[in-house]
Amino acid sequence: MTPVQLSDGARSRMRLRGMIRKESLQILRDPSSIGIAFVLPVVLLFLFGYGVSLDARDIPLGIVVEQPDAATAGLIGAFERSEYFAPRRFASIQAAQRALDERHIDGIVWMRNDFSRHLLSGGEAPIGVRVNGVDANQARITEGYIQGAWLAWLGRYAAGQGHPLQMPVTLEHRVWFNAPLISRYFLVPGLVAIIMTLIGSMLTAMVIAREWDRGTMETMMVTPLRIREVMAGKLIPYFVLGMAGMLFTVVLAVYQFDVPLRGSLWALLASSALFMLVALAVGLLISIVSKNQFVAGQIAIVVTFLPAFILSGFIFDIHSMPWPIQVLTHVVPARYFVAILQSLFLAGDVWPVFWANMGAMAILLLIFMALVRRKAHKRLE
């Protein structure tokens, strides 16, 4: 063979291309990576889009009227017309209580026989309300809705009588950003962060750990390959896969689930790209530290997937967490990304929110990348 000399740069590019081609072929041939990038988003979107709902709608409500008359009929009508309730009549409070115990209904509205008398004497007409408090959140919502419906009816009734109800403070509701109060509007954008965490951290951590498990890493180490080429060769294909998964999720969210996207596309792309890099850096770090597929998978679930789910504000409001947990959420990259996503989808380009969270993600990226650089080397120890 006649030796042909290649420049260092040409050889480095050749190595990187070789790594990227190999990794891409493996992604295409491994059903699990395609599954995580494209099947999982569909499953999660359907689950959160249709299955999980934090809204209170058609709440089964028991109504007990001890002395029916025009006034009680008016209030019942108000409950029946409301889209929040599905009222059922019960003859006695005991019967309603039994239904509540058996979870046929979630609450009871009890109009006693002195209901109309109180009303006519010009005061407030008290109603008894019992709510199933097993799910505290749901109970509070139900209670609030009942109270809302009651107050609205009371106001209308008083106006009809010609002497408006005297209230010290009147509450006027305006819901911003998610006016119809549909929970999937804020759940679906958060899902983008979950899916990208799965691809970026979990899939990447397991794929690299697999190379240690199967002994392919040891062989690769004894080639002219540099450690940064190994890392780049892994990062680039998974970056592309993650962004593809993100775009796929967004398209589904907007066109299938009618979630509004009020912000600009470029802001979405830029923040996704930054978040993807952070997720990949964490994935790399996990795989370097664990070097074992099973352990890498477990660590990835505990330190990336679960926090992204629970501590990111995706479902649970960060401000209502105890303060030590609130402090902890600051190292969860998904927290910043979820904040950006929710504002981009529902509010539009809110630049102060966008840049503050981008800055936080950039800092995390620098920290994780520095750790990767320190931990990654071409040694087996």
Q: List Cβ neighbours of 29 (8 Å cut-off, separation of 6 or more).
A: none
191, 259 in Cβ contact below 8 A? no
Other Cβ atoms within 10 Å of 309 Cβ, number: 18
Cα 300 to Cα 189, 244, 296, distances in angstroms = 22, 21, 6
Q: Which two tokens stand for residue 110?
A: 């009890």
Residue of 216, 244, 264, 367 that binds other proteins (CB under 8 A): 216
374 contributes a contact to other proteins by CB under 8 A:
no
Q: Which two tokens stand for residue 312?
A: 């990111």
**Closer CB to other proteins, residue 221 or residue 269?**
221
61, 79 in Cβ contact below 8 A? yes
**Closer CB to other proteins, residue 54 or residue 225?**
225
134 contributes a contact to other proteins by CB under 8 A:
no
Residue of 34, 42, 54, 221 that binds other proteins (CB under 8 A): 221
Stretch of 52-60, 181-189, 358-366, 373-381 lying at the interface with other proteins (CB under 8 A): 373-381
373 contributes a contact to other proteins by CB under 8 A:
no
Stretch of 7-15, 54-62, 298-306, 340-348 lying at the interface with other proteins (CB under 8 A): 7-15
Site string for other proteins, 321-360 (x = CB under 8 A): ----------------------------------------
Residue of 94, 223, 256, 264 that binds other proteins (CB under 8 A): 223
Residue of 225, 247, 318, 369 that binds other proteins (CB under 8 A): 225
Residues 24 to 43: which contact other proteins by CB under 8 A? 25-26, 29-30
Alpha helix positions (H), 30-88: 31-34, 40-46, 70-81
Strands (E), 23-164: 59-65, 85-90, 107-111, 128-131
70 contributes a contact to other proteins by CB under 8 A:
no
228, 323 in Cβ contact below 8 A? no
Return d(Cα 141, Cα 123) in angstroms, integer. Answer: 26
Using CB under 8 A as the binding criterion, the count of chain residues that bind other proteins stands at 34
121 contributes a contact to other proteins by CB under 8 A:
no
Tell whether the torsion through CA atoms of 262, 265, 266 and 271 is positive or negative: positive
Site residues, other proteins (CB under 8 A): 1-2, 4, 6, 11, 14-15, 17-19, 21-22, 25-26, 29-30, 211, 214-226, 378-381
